[in-house]
Amino acid sequence: MKKLKIKVLNGPNLNLTGVREPSVYGSETLADINRRIAEHAAERGIECDFFQSNSEGALIDAVHSVLLDGYDGAVINAGAYTHYSYALRDAIASVPTPVVEVHMSNVHAREPFRRNSVISEVCRGTVLGFGKNSYILALESFLL
């Protein structure tokens, strides 16, 4: 059977995971988390590629590449762009490939501005509140 090819995208400030607000996001770095995701993906027969950017345009290009480079799906933690980037929302809506929204923290238990996601309605689903395991659960959704 052909291996599923999934792109894992991280947006602004997630490069500082491990250092940034460890009480919210934990003390593991993004590289540690990506290693764990890659191990899990390998065990489940999924091929994973990783991308992080602090720039909206670079993330939009990366969403386009999910279609143009023939991925079967994507997992995206769009960071704060989640809450206001209509450009990122339109990029996700432009690709027919399923995209799963992820947040490490429970955004509903935090500041009110985090409760709204402008990308949720164009994503296949959302996983939030499980720390780094939110990414693993999102990956698993492609196997259902």
**E strand or H helix at 41, and its extent?**
helix 30-43
Binding of ligand DQA at residue 120 (CB under 6 A)? no
Q: Tokens 């489940």 — which residue?
A: 44
Binding of ligand DQA at residue 6 (CB under 6 A)? no
Q: Tell me if residue 71 is catalytic.
A: no
φ, ψ at 109 (rounded to 5°):
-105, 15
Among 4, 13, 36, 93, binds ligand DQA (CB under 6 A): 13
Minimum distance between the CB of residue 47 and ligand DQA, rounded to whole angstroms?
23
Q: Tell me if residue 25 is catalytic.
A: yes
Minimum distance between the CB of residue 37 and ligand DQA, rounded to whole angstroms?
14
Amino acid letter at 42? A
Q: In terms of C-beta density within 10 A (0-12 exposed, 13-18 middle, 19 or more buried), how is residue 121 classed?
A: exposed
Of residues 57-116, those binding ligand DQA (CB under 6 A): 77, 79-80, 82, 103-105, 107, 114
Is residue 21 within 8 A of residue 86, CB to CB? The reply is no
Binding site for ligand DQA (CB under 6 A): 13, 77, 79-80, 82, 103-105, 107, 114
